C-alpha cells in the first residue's frame, strides 16, 4: 500500500534588508572602539602581545582618516613591549598619514638615540620641534583665571630619551641643559605654556598673547649658550615681563666661571677648575701641561656640558692621565683638582641647598662610602645607619644651627653673588670648618623620590615646591 505523499510548502525567506552606508559606518566604528578598549584593558593587565593583536584588528577596520591614531596606540604598545623596530615602523606609518605629527618624530628620535644613532636622532628631533615647539599660542581660555607662564627649555644640545612612567608606559624624557619644573610649578595656580628654544624660533613667536612671567629652565651654559642668548634677545623685546632666572646670570654658572667667582671668598675652597680644548698641542704632553696649570694628582676630568659619570674620570697618576686625555682628542674638557674630604674618617658627605627667591632651603645631606657621593646609594648606605639619617634630620630641621653661623653666612654670600632666582649648591664642611663647594648651578633636580624611602624629607620638599610657586606669584604681582 502506497503511503500518501506529504507536501510541505516552503515560503521563501526574504533577504534581510541591506545595511545603509551610515549603519555600516556606525557598526564599523563600534567594532573599532571595542578593539581599542580591549587593547587598553589588556595593556593595563600587562598582556602586551594580546593588546598588540587587538590594536592591529582596530587598525585593519579603521577608515583611513583614523588609522594614524590607531598606529600611535600600536606604536606605544610596541615600545612598552620592547619591540623597538616595530615601534619605529608604526611611528613612520603615523607620519605617512599625518606628516605634522611632532610627537611621532620625537619618539623616533628617542628610539634612534637608544640605538646610539645620534645624528639621525638629532635630525628627527629638530624636525619634530620645528613642527611644534610645544606651545599653543592661543591655548588660554578667556575664563581661565590662572596667570599664563612661558616655560623655556633649550634643545641646542639636549636630546630625548625613552623614559618609563609608574604605570609602565613609555614616555619621552628630555635630557641635558635644563632643569625640570615638574615639582616646582603648581599647575593649579598657573597656566604653563612650554616652549623648546631652537635657533631663533623664540624670536619668531610674535602672535602669542602676553605672558604674566617667563620661567627660564635653561640651566647649563656649556651646552645651551646659544639658547640662553636667544632668550636674552626675546626678553629685550618684552622688557616688562618678569623673568625667573635671567639668562645673563645663568651664563655665569659654568664650572670655571664659578671657580673664579667663589674661590676668592674667605673660608671657601672651590677646587682649581680649568676649561680647555684637547688640541694637538695639549696631546703632545698632557702631564706637563697639567703640572704647568697647577694641578696635582688625583685630577678629575670631565667633558664640558655633562653631569653623569660616563665622561667623568678620576685620574691617579701621569701615565693614566695621558691615556685618558688622548682618548678625548678634539673635545672640550674640565680639569678639576680632586680634594679628598673625609667625613667621620670612613665616609664622604655632600649637602645640598636650594636658593629660591633669596632664601635658603636645605635639600639633602647625603653620606656615602664612595667619594663621588650619589643619591642612588642612599638605600644601600643611609637606611642601614640610623646615625646618618639623624645627621640629615638635623641639617634639614635647622641648617644654620647644624652648619654654624660662619658656614651659613657663606651660603648667604653665595646666594647674593649668584644673582639667580633659583639655583642649587652642593658642598661639605671640612674638619677645620672650611666650606668646600662641589658645584653651584640651576641644573639641579627637585623631586620627591628620596622621600619615598626617607619620609622625614617629605614636609621639607613640600615647602620647597610651595616656595618656588610663591616666587612666581610674587614676580607677577611686582
Q: What is the pLDDT of residue 435?
A: 97
Q: Partners of 160 in the beta sheet?
A: 174
Residue-level pLDDT at 29: 80
Position 2 scores a pLDDT of 58
Domain 25-131 has CATH 1.25.40.10: yes
Cell output for 172: 619621552
Name which CATH class applies to 348-477. Answer: alpha beta
CB atoms within 10 A of CB 18: 8
Q: Is the Cβ–Cβ distance between 223 and 254 less than 8 Å?
A: no
For residues 434-473, b (16+ Cβ closer than 10 Å) or e, as one string?
bbbbbbbbbbbebeeebeeebeebeebbeebbebbbebbe
User: pTM of this prediction?
Assistant: 0.85
- For residue 271, give every residue at least 6 positions away whose Cβ sits within 8 Å of its Cβ, in sequence order, or none: 259, 300, 336, 337, 338, 339, 436
The pLDDT value given to residue 326: 92
Run of H or E including 32: helix 21-44
- Can you give the pLDDT at residue 43? 86
Q: Quote the pLDDT of residue 327.
A: 92
The reply to whether CATH 3.30.1490.20 applies to domain 272-337 is yes
pLDDT mean by block of 10 residues, the chain; 478 residues: 55 50 64 87 89 89 86 92 94 93 94 93 94 66 82 91 78 87 93 91 76 95 93 92 96 96 94 94 92 95 76 91 93 94 93 97 95 84 94 98 96 96 97 94 92 95 97 93
Cα dist. 109→9, 72, 91, 93 in Å?
A: 71, 15, 11, 15
Q: What phi and psi, each to the nearest 5 degrees, are found at residue 347?
A: -130, 175
Q: Where in the chain is the domain with CATH 1.25.40.10?
A: 25-131
Note the pLDDT of residue 138.
47
From-to residues of CATH 3.30.470 in the chain = 348-477
Q: Where are the beta strands (DSSP E) in 237-292?
A: 243-244, 268-269, 273-277
Q: Which of 125, 274, 148, 262 is nearest to 211 (CA)?
A: 148
CATH 3.30.1490.20 positions along the chain are 272-337
Q: What is the four-CA torsion angle of 363, 358, 183, 155, rounded to 10 degrees?
A: -110
Amino acid at each position: 500500500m502506497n503511503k500518501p505523499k506529504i507536501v510541505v510548502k516552503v515560503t521563501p525567506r526574504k533577504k534581510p534588508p541591506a545595511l545603509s552606508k551610515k549603519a555600516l559606518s556606525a557598526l564599523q566604528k563600534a567594532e573599532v572602539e571595542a578593539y581599542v578598549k580591549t587593547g587598553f584593558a589588556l595593556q593595563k593587565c600587562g598582556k602586551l602581545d594580546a593588546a598588540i593583536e587587538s590594536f592591529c584588528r582596530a587598525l585593519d577596520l579603521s577608515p583611513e582618516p583614523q588609522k594614524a591614531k590607531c598606529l600611535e596606540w600600536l606604536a606605544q604598545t610596541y615600545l612598552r613591549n620592547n619591540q623597538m623596530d616595530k615601534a619605529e615602523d608604526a611611528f613612520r606609518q603615523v607620519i605617512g598619514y599625518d606628516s605634522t605629527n611632532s610627537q611621532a618624530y620625537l619618539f623616533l628620535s628617542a628610539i634612534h638615540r637608544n640605538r646610539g644613532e645620534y645624528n639621525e636622532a638629532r635630525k628627527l628631533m629638530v624636525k619634530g620641534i620645528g613642527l611644534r615647539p610645544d606651545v599653543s599660542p592661543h591655548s588660554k581660555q578667556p575664563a581661565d583665571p590662572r596667570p599664563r607662564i612661558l616655560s623655556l627649555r633649550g634643545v641646542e644640545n639636549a636630546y630625548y630619551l625613552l623614559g618609563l612612567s609608574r604605570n609602565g608606559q613609555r614616555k619621552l624624557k628630555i635630557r641635558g641643559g635644563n632643569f625640570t619644573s615638574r615639582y616646582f610649578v603648581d599647575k593649579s595656580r598657573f597656566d604653563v605654556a612650554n616652549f623648546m628654544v631652537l635657533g631663533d624660533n623664540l624670536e619668531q613667536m610674535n602672535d602669542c598673547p602676553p605672558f604674566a612671567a617667563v620661567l627660564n629652565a635653561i640651566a647649563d651654559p656649556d651646552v645651551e649658550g646659544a639658547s640662553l642668548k636667544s632668550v636674552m634677545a626675546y626678553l629685550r623685546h618684552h622688557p616688562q615681563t618678569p623673568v625667573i632666572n635671567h639668562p645673563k646670570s645663568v651664563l655665569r654658572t659654568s664650572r670655571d666661571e664659578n671657580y673664579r667667582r667663589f674661590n676668592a671668598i674667605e673660608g671657601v675652597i672651590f677646587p682649581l677648575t680649568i676649561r680647555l680644548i684637547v688640541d694637538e698641542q695639549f696631546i703632545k704632553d698632557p702631564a706637563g701641561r697639567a703640572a704647568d696649570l697647577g694641578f696635582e694628582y688625583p685630577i678629575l676630568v670631565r667633558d664640558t656640558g655633562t653631569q653623569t659619570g660616563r665622561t667623568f674620570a678620576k685620574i691617579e697618576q701621569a701615565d693614566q692621565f695621558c691615556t685618558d686625555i688622548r682618548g678625548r682628542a678634539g673635545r672640550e674638557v674640565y680639569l678639576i683638582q680632586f680634594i679628598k674630604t673625609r667625613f667621620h674618617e670612613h665616609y664622604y658627605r655632600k649637602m645640598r641647598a636650594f636658593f629660591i627667591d633669596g632664601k635658603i632651603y636645605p635639600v639633602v645631606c647625603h653620606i656615602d662610602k664612595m667619594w663621588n657621593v650619589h643619591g642612588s646609594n642612599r638605600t644601600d648606605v643611609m637606611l642601614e645607619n640610623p646615625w646618618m639619617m639623624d645627621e640629615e634630620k638635623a641639617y634639614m630641621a635647622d641648617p644654620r644651627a647644624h652648619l654654624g653661623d660662619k658656614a651659613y653666612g657663606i651660603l648667604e654670600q653665595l646666594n647674593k653673588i649668584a644673582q639667580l632666582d633659583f639655583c642649587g649648591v652642593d658642598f661639605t664642611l671640612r674638619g677645620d670648618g672650611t666650606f668646600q663647594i662641589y658645584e653651584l648651578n640651576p641644573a639641579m633636580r627637585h623631586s620627591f623620590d628620596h622621600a619615598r624611602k626617607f619620609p622625614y624629607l617629605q614636609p621639607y620638599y613640600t615647602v620647597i615646591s610651595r616656595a618656588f610657586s610663591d616666587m612666581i606669584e610674587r614676580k607677577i604681582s611686582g
